[in-house]
Structure 1
């Protein structure tokens, strides 16, 4: 159940229209390609640019949640809203794509725990604590450190997320924020779209000590497919302004991160993060949501069994949903 930025992409390119998403969409996601990729669940990610004032970030977030609801209503034969692990299983049993909501960036709550509670009632199941820039209460991986982790209010945000059954997502945050949040959280955390720092030293990736801590926390790292997170040569080329020949990134590069995450974090603590419709470039043969299929084939050639792949494709995240479903349902009241 990887995250997917379709809602924001639809805002930017389709004016939030849900029409024409069955096949042939100009985006990286449509129903036909989801089926080809064997995708049975998605966290539909909603987010607002970091530079917006708080009132606008809340509006952006609510508009995209509305898009997710309208998407599900427009294609009820394909999508079903899901909040709990059992909701996901029922969707799978009926051949539908389980549709959950995640917010990418703590700016989505506008600095308000009350807004967080409202979003939880609407079905928010994870929130990334930052995006590309710091928020007032947490440091981003790609900004100058201010808090050196979480502020006191940031710790309160984590505790309230635990109470509401909103998963703490540590993609995008600094390594100090990762460690701080894991020490505070009483529930499993996730990394919704990050890769392994030891394989590619990008600041968005997860250091080995943090990966190793997931076995104690119960969390899951969901490996991203973004080329600059996956391959060191591409990372250097991208940061250098894209001058010269673009390095070739393949499914094998992504599989190397999956293998490393398994070695350090353990089989029970890894998943797929992808980041489709959140990035313009992807590895060869992985340009859209069909790209899950060649990755599964590559891992199978490396000796991954069918039960192992099932955990990777959603089983591990489903476990985390199960452990937090009661709190999420309680947030409705």
Structure 2
């Protein structure tokens, strides 16, 4: 798309957007109209687990897939349909033993995942563009390309060598969370069955905060224990983000945060990005037969079974024991509660696509404009949507980068 065509298209979309702003108070916005408005905004999701699919046999990010067929949720055709410009594409590696061998294996896997993200961009320069500065998003949007920031979910691969964070920074890393499902060398997780180990961040975790600040990397408190989040807010020189989290007031789950911590996050300038992981949104019925079937699938995975075998087994499980998902309305209850407590300057979107996210009616990125439609119906303005869909996350990144630049002088 040439620059002139882009400007003409953007002007047309802006006219549509203005009309929608005038109409939405009357409840007249259709999903098509909401999509048109969303296309005029920089739309980012701060937690895309899609890099896990990049090396999976049969997956091509440029082709249309479907959740019903291969259980993926993000590809270029669906991003276009859902008016998603891009976001933070996550480096994730499973956590092993807290040992030298475990760290080294995870480090190598993480480097390969980072390389896969960079390769996705370099192999498709007309489709994607890599972003390292907060200001890059606007320029990439103008070129009608998809925006690729890099994040790390769980800093376990760094081992005990904090200097490795700079290595990943040079790869393009701009957001990092210290923990995942279990406690590790950096601090306490919200979901470790053994409970708290460090009462927040460990001494090494405190060093991680300082190094992230020095480099200009945004700190991500998702998956972290409440005390870990509090330590991050207290120690960080710049606001932190919760890249994919929900509200305890709606569902009291360890992965969610309560109103007091939500207010503390906002008071420090931070942002909560609303998660669409069904099990964290409401209590769902337990199906013992499904649990047993999934356990069998995991055993096949650990045995190194062929991908096609695993995929067929997964389809069989979903047919015989379909997963119960939370509703879109429950997702929006979390969303609207966060907006009520801290306002649109401190709320965004991080649905956990390709990492377990998805609710009924919104099982992939195609349906993201439903969020825009609902927020307009609730009375939120276009300016609010600008903040929610991207500006809040970019502001936090800009603050991190400004601080890093100041300490280098």
Q: What TM-score do the two structures reach when normalised by structure 2? A: 0.75
Distance (whole Å) between structure 2 residues aligned to residue 119 and residue 199 of structure 1: 36
Deviations 1:132-163 (A, max 9, x none): 01112300001121001012221111111111
Q: Choose which of 189, 204, 209 in structure 2 pairs with 1:153.
A: 204
- In the TM superposition, residue 329 of structure 1 has moved relative to its aligned partner by 7.5
Secondary structure in 2 matching 1:191? strand
Q: Choose which of 179, 183, 192 in structure 2 pairs with 1:130.
A: 179
Long gaps (5+) in structure 1: none
- In the TM superposition, residue 94 of structure 1 has moved relative to its aligned partner by 1.2
Distance (whole Å) between structure 2 residues aligned to residue 96 and residue 199 of structure 1: 36
In the other structure, the counterpart of 1:295 is 371
In the other structure, the counterpart of 1:311 is 387
- In the TM superposition, residue 176 of structure 1 has moved relative to its aligned partner by 0.9
Distance (whole Å) between structure 2 residues aligned to residue 10 and residue 182 of structure 1: 34
In the other structure, the counterpart of 1:5 is 49
After superposing the two structures, state which structure 1 stretch, 22-31 or 72-81, moved more: 22-31
CA contact (8 A) 1:158 1:181 kept: yes
The 3 A distance-change label for structure 1 pair 213 and 87 is same
CA contact (8 A) 1:83 1:325 kept: no
Q: Choose which of 36, 41, 44 in structure 1 pairs with 2:81.
A: 36
Distance (whole Å) between structure 2 residues aligned to residue 290 and residue 133 of structure 1: 32
Listed as ranges, the matches of 1:94-109 within 5 Å are: 94-109=143-158
- In the TM superposition, residue 218 of structure 1 has moved relative to its aligned partner by 0.8
Listed as ranges, the matches of 1:47-62 within 5 Å are: 47-51=92-96, 53-62=102-111
Distance (whole Å) between structure 2 residues aligned to residue 92 and residue 76 of structure 1: 14
Secondary structure in 2 matching 1:85? coil
Q: Choose which of 164, 169, 190 in structure 2 pairs with 1:141.
A: 190
Listed as ranges, the matches of 1:64-79 within 5 Å are: 64-79=113-128
Q: Choose which of 332, 335, 344 in structure 2 pairs with 1:258.
A: 335
- In the TM superposition, residue 291 of structure 1 has moved relative to its aligned partner by 2.6
- In the TM superposition, residue 293 of structure 1 has moved relative to its aligned partner by 1.4
Aligned-residue CA RMSD (Å): 2.4
- In the TM superposition, residue 24 of structure 1 has moved relative to its aligned partner by 2.2
In the other structure, the counterpart of 2:213 is 162
Q: Choose which of 264, 267, 274 in structure 2 pairs with 1:223.
A: 274
CA contact (8 A) 2:274 2:335 kept: yes
- In the TM superposition, residue 216 of structure 1 has moved relative to its aligned partner by 2.2
Q: Does 1:179 align with 2:230?
A: yes
Deviations 1:210-237 (A, max 9, x none): 1101232111100001111112x32x64
In the other structure, the counterpart of 2:353 is 276
Distance (whole Å) between structure 2 residues aligned to residue 204 and residue 227 of structure 1: 12
- In the TM superposition, residue 170 of structure 1 has moved relative to its aligned partner by 0.3
CA contact (8 A) 2:248 2:256 kept: yes
After superposing the two structures, state which structure 1 stretch, 244-253 or 254-263, moved more: 244-253
In the other structure, the counterpart of 2:300 is none
Deviations 1:101-160 (A, max 9, x none): 000002021221111111112111111110001112300001121001012221111111
The structure with more radius of gyration: 2
Distance (whole Å) between structure 1 residues aligned to residue 233 and residue 221 of structure 2: 9
- In the TM superposition, residue 74 of structure 1 has moved relative to its aligned partner by 1.9
Q: Does 1:21 align with 2:21?
A: no
CA contact (8 A) 1:196 1:208 kept: yes
Q: Choose which of 222, 233, 247 in structure 2 pairs with 1:196.
A: 247
Distance (whole Å) between structure 1 residues aligned to residue 405 and residue 112 of structure 2: 22
Secondary structure in 1 matching 2:279? helix
In the other structure, the counterpart of 1:322 is 398
Q: What TM-score do the two structures reach when normalised by structure 1? A: 0.91
The 3 A distance-change label for structure 1 pair 306 and 239 is farther
Secondary structure in 1 matching 2:350? strand
Secondary structure in 2 matching 1:221? strand
Distance (whole Å) between structure 2 residues aligned to residue 46 and residue 245 of structure 1: 29
